[in-house]
Amino acid sequence: MATLLSRVCVVTLLALAFRNAPARAEPASEPAPLPAAPRTLASWHRAFDELRTGSERYRSASAEVEKARGRARVALADLLPRAQAQASFTHELIVTEENFGAGPVTVPAQDVWGAGVSVNVALLDARALHAHGTARREVRASQDTLAAERVELARELVDVLLTAWTAERLAEQHRAGLRAALERLALTQTKRTLGRATVLDVDRARQDVESARTDALHGDDALHRARVELGLLLGARTATAAPAVSDAEGLERALGAFCSSHERFEAAPRIAAAEAQLELSERALAALDLELLPRLDAQSQLRWDSETVYGPDATMQLGLIVSAPIWDGGARYGHKRAAHAARMQARLTLDAARREVRSRASESTRAVGVAEDAARIGAAQRELAVRIDEATRVAFEQGVGTSLDLVAAAEARRRAELQAVLLVARLTQARAHAALAYATCQL
């Protein structure tokens, strides 16, 4: 009974001393509040909207489509009639007068006004027809390339968003860990005042505080870099914070609103883009063979002159022109060698794209299963570490256990809480990558 009463008295004294500890404990600064970002995304959907309007990479890929459409229109112009108007004025400085029986005539006419229209039509030009077909395929190839770039940008945005979101959570966890370390230091100093702790116990608590403070410092630095990276990807001029939400599940729903997955392997935009490039390389090789074919053009010209010596003032001509190459110094054969090499490179690129898409799909599916198991284990470890830390602290307050046990349990809890946040982010990332394996995105 006496032993029980003495324990109760000790616990009561510790509680009272702990309540008054701040007055006697060494001053310890509280962790500074989490620095606010210059700009914060309103939602996960907002990030995808800004990617379309602000990303330089997205706008550059979109501009390539417009360039291809412009080249296709230029190729079409070679197949359509071409008309050209001309107007002229000629003043002869040296003239003479001739008499042809009807009076003197100035030869040549001193002031002559002229106007004319010429029309050129390609009647048979296999090279121009082939070039126009190639240009139209270039438009589709640029669109396939843009589709592949959309998927890559969506994948990169998911990674950067999760990095920024995770950095926010980790920075909060670091500050919570620092506050807990300061509380343990105050508790240890109080026990030292009561003579139930040693200088070594206080030093261990101080060491734990400095370790937590270092983690908070590095966490803030990682948070700043993540915000800057997210702002750069979205084309913003300032650092941008991820949406202030407690979970990352909304990111998967936002991704599903912009990207739809396909079951067919060949439907992957990257494979379609590589196939389009292979087709263009084959057409470039065929175009070199068409250069040997002749070309047939029809030309017509209508002209009027204000003064003529012989003949009518207005004339009209119609003619056919056949042209065929004979020798170009061997340039075509050099271009053909380069075209063969380009076709081989396009085939290798297509094979590499197929292998990478298959590998990404299989690895992302496996990564989802691993991440789900790891997330469950991490949640269980976190709950266990929290219970152990709380029990160790209660035991230390009651005089059971050492400061080494207190610090070790606190460090284990901090690691478990940080790891739990990381595992949740990795699970979301794995699911997003799996959804993007055969996806088409409409950003």
The residue ranking higher by pLDDT, 1 or 77, is: 77
116-174 residue pLDDT tens:
999 999 888 899 999 999 999 999 999 999 999 999 999 999 999 999 999 999 998 89
Specify the DSSP element, H or E, that contains 138. Answer: helix 126-193
Contact 433, 259 (CB under 8 A): no
In this structure, are strands 96-99 and 104-107 parallel, antiparallel, or unpaired? antiparallel
For the cut 50, the answer to whether the pLDDT of residue 5 exceeds it is: no
The residue ranking higher by pLDDT, 15 or 134, is: 134
Q: Which residue, chain included where needed, has tokens 């799996």?
A: 434
419-437 residue pLDDT tens:
998 999 999 999 999 888 8
For residue 260, list its beta bridge partners. Answer: 440
**Backbone φ and ψ of 273, nearest 5°:** -65, -40
Please report, in angstroms and rounded to a whole number, the separation of the first and last CA atoms in the chain.
75
- Amino acid at the residue 125: D
In this structure, are strands 314-323 and 295-305 parallel, antiparallel, or unpaired? antiparallel
The whole-number pLDDT of residue 309 equals 64
Contact 177, 212 (CB under 8 A): yes
- The closest alpha carbon to 341, from 287, 271, 284, belongs to 284
- pTM score of the predicted model: 0.76
267-320 residue pLDDT tens:
788 999 999 999 999 999 999 888 888 999 899 998 888 877 666 878 888 889
| Stretch 239-253: mean pLDDT | 86
195-238 residue pLDDT tens:
888 899 889 889 989 999 999 999 999 999 999 999 999 988 88
The whole-number pLDDT of residue 23 equals 34
Q: Which domains does the chain have, with CATH numbers?
A: 8-80+125-291+331-441 (1.20.1600.10)
CA–CA distance, 198 with 206 (Å, rounded to integer): 13
Q: Is 90 helix (H, G, I), strand (E, B) or coil?
A: strand
